[in-house]
């Protein structure tokens, strides 16, 4: 295990969902943290507690700004790179996806090499796998991706691999599956399936499925995902990618039934069977992450949903 005590860690995209939870966890370590975020999707409020620590500071910068990014990263021993456009944004604007997820990631990698960073932890995605050829998917699963977002994550993984080969820049890539939890976007065009279900239920409207509700996902709670980043920083692992997931499959029908029960609702889902669904199944094997990083997801879906629902109610009350 690598000793990170006394180091400075740059968390790029650290005001977002996963990043802010990681920053919270880093406040319990003997490290200093610089959060680098353009505050487009990330929010300063996500860091409200962390920023009370004198060892945490926020720098508002964009990863497309090479000079500003490098200046913000100066003095960092480690970098965790989480900044990215989301899947739907990439589908709607592939050019922005290229500029942020590919060129922006390249800027992070180049700055890390120039500044002699010890390791980069990169947020990749299960999107690189596309439609599964087999289940559960391990890290050797072929890249069946057909999305701009997935392509951008493959590009990030491959450039890190190249920089490791050319310059010895250590890295770990984390392929997140279906992340959820407090601080999830509950406004705007890119809200998650959780928020869409909750929005409709609270308006007295049934959840709507595109398809038969049999589509499956591998849900993993955000605090578990944040912890995987910390474990990756501390591990001796390098030049490797890992699935970060619960390792279990949940249908959207099962998810809706659980949310309806937790909300005390008797609504019944509505199906739009003529709609074209996306990826039909997701389930990861997480043995590699368990063996080499010491990672296991510990939060059950029901427990995580209770926390998400409670946070959402609190956030909406503050806004009101």
Give me the active site residues, please: 149
- The CA distances from residue 237 to 144, 240, 287, 295, 296, in Å, are 26, 7, 14, 13, 16
Q: Which residue has the tokens 């065009």?
A: 189
**Are 180 and 191 in contact, with CB atoms under 8 Å apart?**
no
Query: Residue 6: is it exposed, middle or buried by C-beta count within 10 angstroms (0-12/13-18/19+)?
Result: exposed
The two structure tokens encoding residue 73:
């990263």
Q: How far apart are CA 141 and CA 147, in angstroms?
A: 17
Q: Say how many C-beta atoms besides its own lie within 10 A of residue 318's C-beta.
A: 8
Q: How far apart are CA 47 and CA 174, in angstroms?
A: 23
∠ CA 42-47-51, nearest 5°, is 140
Q: How far apart are CA 263 and CA 115, in angstroms?
A: 50
Q: Say how many C-beta atoms besides its own lie within 10 A of residue 113's C-beta.
A: 15
211: left (phi over 0), alpha (psi -120 to 50) or beta: left
Q: How far apart are CA 147 and CA 153, in angstroms?
A: 10
Among 224, 261, 258, CA closest to 243: 224
State yes or no: cis peptide before 26, omega within 30 of 0: no
Q: How far apart are CA 18 and CA 233, in angstroms?
A: 15
Residues contacting residue 318 through CB under 8 Å, at least 6 positions apart: none
């Amino acid at each position: 295990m690598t000793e990170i005590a006394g180091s400075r860690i740059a968390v790029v995209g650290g005001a977002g969902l996963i990043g802010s939870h990681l920053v919270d966890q880093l406040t319990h370590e003997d490290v200093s943290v610089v959060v680098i975020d353009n505050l487009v999707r990330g929010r300063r409020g996500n860091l409200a507690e962390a920023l009370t620590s004198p060892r945490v500071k926020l720098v508002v910068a964009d990863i497309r700004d090479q000079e500003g990014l490098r200046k913000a990263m100066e003095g960092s021993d480690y970098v965790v790179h989480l900044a990215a456009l989301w899947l739907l944004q990439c589908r709607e604007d592939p050019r922005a996806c290229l500029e942020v997820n590919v060129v922006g990631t390249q800027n992070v990698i180049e700055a890390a090499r120039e500044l002699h960073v010890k390791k980069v932890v990169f947020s990749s995605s299960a999107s690189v796998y596309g439609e599964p050829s087999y289940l559960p998917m391990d890290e050797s699963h072929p890249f069946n991706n057909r999305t701009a977002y997935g392509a951008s994550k493959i590009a990030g993984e491959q450039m890190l691999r190249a920089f490791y080969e050319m310059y010895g820049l250590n890295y770990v890539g984390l392929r997140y599956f279906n992340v959820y939890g407090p601080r999830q976007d509950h406004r705007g065009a890119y809200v998650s399936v959780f928020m869409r279900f909750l929005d409709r239920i609270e308006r007295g409207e049934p959840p709507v499925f595109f398809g038969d509700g049999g589509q499956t996902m591998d849900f993993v709670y955000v605090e578990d995902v944040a912890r995987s980043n910390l474990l990756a920083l501390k591990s001796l692992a390098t030049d490797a990618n890992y699935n970060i997931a619960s390792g279990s499959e949940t249908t959207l029908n099962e998810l809706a039934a659980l949310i309806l029960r937790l909300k005390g609702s008797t609504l019944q889902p509505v199906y739009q069977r003529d709609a074209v669904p996306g990826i039909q199944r997701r389930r990861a094997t997480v043995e590699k992450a368990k063996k080499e990083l010491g990672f296991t997801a510990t939060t059950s879906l029901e427990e995580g949903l209770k926390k998400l629902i409670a946070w959402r109610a609190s956030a909406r009350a503050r806004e009101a």
